Structure 1
Amino acid sequence: MTDTMTREQRVVLTIAVLASFVSFLDGTVVNVALPAIARDLGGGLSTQQWVVDAYLVTLGAFILVAGSLSDVLGRVVVLRIGLVGFGVASVAIAAAPTAEFLIVARALQGVAGALLVPSSLALITSTFRGPAQARAIGIWTGATTVAMLAGPLVGGVFVDALSWRLVFLVNVLPIGVTLWLLARLGHRDHRRPGARVDVLGAVLCAAGLGGVVFALIEQPNLGWGSPLIWIPGLIGALAFAGFLVRQRLAREPMMPLGLFRSRNFWAGNLATVFVYAALSLNGFVVSVYLQQGAGLSATLAGLASLPSTILMIALSSRMGALSGRFGPRLFMTLGPLVMAAGALLLLNVRGDFDYWTQVLPGVIVFGLGLTATVSPLTAAVLGAIDSERSGIASAVNNAVSRVAGLLAIAAVSSIVGGALDLDGFHRAAVFTAALMVLGATASFLGIRNHLSRAE
């Protein structure tokens, strides 16, 4: 496909793939490194939750503002800032002397990561047109899927053979290559006259997510009655409500609430909340328990979910084609139900652990359900909005999925009962299945096939 592209298009696509690869890779390598981080720096389950959620809080809060920042500063400038910031934060994480230092560095890395994915897609959509754009986005999507596949494997090997600290330096080389390609690109940057960044909206969103997440993570240690829990939680809830009001009143909102007038858009995003909360909860709990509870090495824990990812790579395009033929509702209903069945199969995990009989069947069933869900869900959400607004629609859906995962991981301690032992693992499996059933219900009741965009 790339042989029909101009030199500039090939360079732009390579830049977009590498920049997004960095962000997606970092999101998947971290789970297998969590037990090693906790052993080295201390802090137990709450430290592991914060290592993941510090990144997701700032990523979810600032991914919406990245689009308007690109309009003000230019896509190439924003991408360059994101890459440099991500690289510096990665080095700081690798050198972290304490858990608190690492968590702060992860939060800063999330801010930088929020600039990468939207800017990468914006570069593609501004450089490619028509069928070439669809092919370019397909290549970009395939590369990010490879990052999902490579992340747990690379992370596990690095943790076992070298150090968890080097896991966070994996992305330094692709960052360097991407910055070099950007310098060679000679691409004329585009700025939109009169564009403004909604700083107040971004601050309200970050404060809202941060307060709620702090309360959820620390609540098992201090209890809901502690002012150190309910005050940040209340402030966070009020700040997030203020963010929604701001989006209603702002002249150029980060998240235009008018998008949610479309039935498939709001229903698809509601399904996204449940499905991606379940996915994040499942990924976190399985990666940590297989090491701390079942005694597997980080490499084997990384390999454990490989069959699910392979199924997704092999069958996702086929599922997308079938969804285009029959409509997304069937797939968005059955897919989460199949994933719920896969999660419940993890109840077979026992003290005398055996991966092949207790985990692999659930991973395969879960992977089939995931494959049936993701492409139709994305198509339903983006297909509900006019093509000229697909960028902001994609950013909103991306933010919704990140925030859903953020809240699920923040609630891990409450879900598992304070400790990720075998009983806690089983409780998490049941909770994952329940979230998937809610996702299937939202899809069945809300999604309509072949709606006009006005509906």
Structure 2
Amino acid sequence: MTTTPAEARPSRTGMDPEVTRTAWTVLVGGLAVLFDTTIVAVAIRTLATDLHVGLTTIQWVSTAYLLALGVAVPLVGWAQRVLGAKRLWMTALAIFLLGSVLCSLAWSAASLIAFRVVQGLGGGILMPLMMTIIMQAARGQNLGRMAVIIGLPVALGPIIGPVIGGLILQNLHWSWLFWVNVPFCVAGLVLARRFLAPDGPVQRVRLDVVGLALLAPGLVGVLYGLSNVSRDGGFTRTDVWAPAAAGLVLVAAFCLWAVPRGRAALVNVRLLAHRPLATSSVLMGLSGFGLFGAMFLLPLYFQGVRGHDVLGAGLLLVPQGVGALASRVALGRVIDKVGPRWITLTSFAMVALATVPFALAGAATSQAWLMVVLFFRGLGLGSAIIPLMAHAFAGLAHDDVPDASIVSRLIQQLGGSFGTAVLATVLASATAGAGTVADMADGFDQAFWVAVAFTMLAVALSFLLPAEPPGRQQTAAQGARAPEGAAANG
């Protein structure tokens, strides 16, 4: 897209209008992916009933998607260098659209699982690519406000998704769980064609075949093992520790292969020597316990202890979504003026404190009080990840942004999966044999305390972040960045 000098001038908010258009363009397309996982998660039992299969089989609707995502994410950097950002974005969005339509037309559990793989391949490319496109367009400026835009649906997805899923299951056929993606995908394709910067010619870039052969099955093994933790036996199950251990060995082997190769490797793991990326990624991974792991517990708590149905549980989480939205409105004004240390520390502390009432709650605890607590939990939830996203990219060269996006996305994905697995194991152990609602509530209390403990660990580690705002970090690292004339799509 060509830009006139007038268009290129910053707006009254200090942001380039073209950068803002780019951010919202990819966000519209990415909304389908961000909402899809949580929408489908609430429908597992309904799908098992309607497709006449057991829960063990239908769980593969989620597992197949997760594993396909693990295969796709490592390929994003190489694919972007070959096709360019715009072509890759539109291709991945078209794949996700195709997968959504096919899932809507599925006639059996087997066909639905197969079509979820198609969805997962598209979604696995879209998520890290969304961050790459926005951060490369920003060119090191206003990273905080860019991260606010990226993080908005990331926080709202787990909160609004169950509500949308519950409404669909209560009023429509389950196929609408996937049809709802279509408008976002179509709108995203139209906007991308109009507003994303054009790509250069397709390039020939050598694929790191050895790296792919190590990293892709390694990630699949870890993610598959963690996905089985919620079953009887937890981490002692062979289908948990065996694939997870094998996966970790392959991931370690990939790191040994990739370090000496730098940018020539499938993913440039040398970037973890860049302290902002390393510290932010570790904290984003750890957030899987306090943030996303607890999001696994809350709907189950409202259903198992408070007696609500899927829709009711989803609606009770709305105050948390309102809090997350409110925090982003406020954060957008200060994110580039305040250092990530204090915002992240305060946010994690708020999440921890707002989780404590659930660890103390019983079946008779005031529901109104818990909804007030959820609002404040949402305030922390909505602002905890944003400074980490902005800080991770501070001082990086333009061409390193794609690999940095992949690294941070993978660590966050693994952290979320591991956090959910640990809390699922604690919950299963604590509620085994629970004969009364009070016993069930005691089991949830234990799981919530574990979430609080890991969130407090994130509070402590937040002191590793710098106290100065991103702009000053960026100025200090100017010499390490690539020339401003570098191509925006790698």
Normalising by structure 1, report the TM-score. Answer: 0.83
Report matched runs for 1:74-93 at 5 Å.
74-93=84-103
Aligned to 2:483: none
Aligned to 2:306: 294
Q: Secondary structure at the match of 1:189?
A: coil
What are the ranges of 5 or more consecutive residues in structure 2 without an aligned counterpart? 9-16, 433-439, 481-490
Task: Please tell me whether the aligned partners of residues 34 and 288 of structure 1 are also in contact (alpha carbons under 8 angstroms).
Answer: no
Q: Which amino acid aligns with 2:413?
A: R
Alpha-carbon distance between aligned partners in 1 of 2:393 and 2:19, rounded to the nearest angstrom: 24
2:135 aligned with 1:117 = no
* Cα distance, 1:171 vs structure 2: 0.6
Aligned partner (choices 394, 405, 410) of residue 394 of structure 1: 405
2:283 aligned with 1:271 = yes
Aligned to 2:448: 429
Alpha-carbon distance between aligned partners in 1 of 2:346 and 2:58, rounded to the nearest angstrom: 32
* Cα distance, 1:192 vs structure 2: 6.6
Aligned to 1:368: 379
Aligned partner (choices 430, 437, 447) of residue 465 of structure 2: 447
Q: Which deviations, in whole Å up to 9, do the C-alpha atoms of 1:231-258 show, x marking residues without a partner?
A: 4333222222122223214452343222
2:51 aligned with 1:33 = no
Change (3 A) 1:186 1:335: closer
Task: Please tell me whether the aligned partners of residues 155 and 381 of structure 2 are also in contact (alpha carbons under 8 angstroms).
Answer: no
Task: Please tell me whether the aligned partners of residues 124 and 136 of structure 1 are also in contact (alpha carbons under 8 angstroms).
Answer: yes
Q: Which deviations, in whole Å up to 9, do the C-alpha atoms of 1:342-377 show, x marking residues without a partner?
A: 2221124433475323x3143123223224422222
Of residues 275-284 and 137-146 in structure 1, the stretch that sits farther from structure 2 once superposed is: 137-146
Alpha-carbon distance between aligned partners in 1 of 2:66 and 2:357, rounded to the nearest angstrom: 29
Aligned to 2:256: 245
Report matched runs for 1:151-300 at 5 Å.
151-181=161-191, 188-191=198-201, 193-218=203-228, 220-221=231-232, 228-250=239-261, 251-300=263-312
Q: Which deviations, in whole Å up to 9, do the C-alpha atoms of 1:59-118 show, x marking residues without a partner?
A: 244324213202112333322331232123223433455556544443432211122234
Alpha-carbon distance between aligned partners in 2 of 1:31 and 1:287, rounded to the nearest angstrom: 11
Q: Secondary structure at the match of 2:362?
A: coil
Alpha-carbon distance between aligned partners in 2 of 1:326 and 1:8, rounded to the nearest angstrom: 25
* Cα distance, 1:217 vs structure 2: 4.0
Q: Which amino acid aligns with 2:400?
A: R
Alpha-carbon distance between aligned partners in 2 of 1:309 and 1:303, rounded to the nearest angstrom: 10
Report matched runs for 1:372-387 at 5 Å.
372-383=383-394, 385-386=396-397
Alpha-carbon distance between aligned partners in 2 of 1:173 and 1:87, rounded to the nearest angstrom: 9
2:121 aligned with 1:108 = no
2:20 aligned with 1:23 = no
Change (3 A) 1:148 1:94: same
Q: Which amino acid aligns with 1:268?
A: S
Q: Which amino acid aligns with 2:445?
A: H
Q: Taking every aligned residue pair, what percent have the same amino acid on both sides? A: 25
Normalising by structure 2, report the TM-score. Answer: 0.77
Alpha-carbon distance between aligned partners in 1 of 2:92 and 2:192, rounded to the nearest angstrom: 12
Of residues 432-441 and 285-294 in structure 1, the stretch that sits farther from structure 2 once superposed is: 285-294
* Cα distance, 1:279 vs structure 2: 1.8
* Cα distance, 1:394 vs structure 2: 3.2
Q: Which amino acid aligns with 1:74?
A: G
Change (3 A) 1:74 1:412: same
What are the ranges of 5 or more consecutive residues in structure 1 without an aligned counterpart? none
Change (3 A) 1:143 1:241: closer
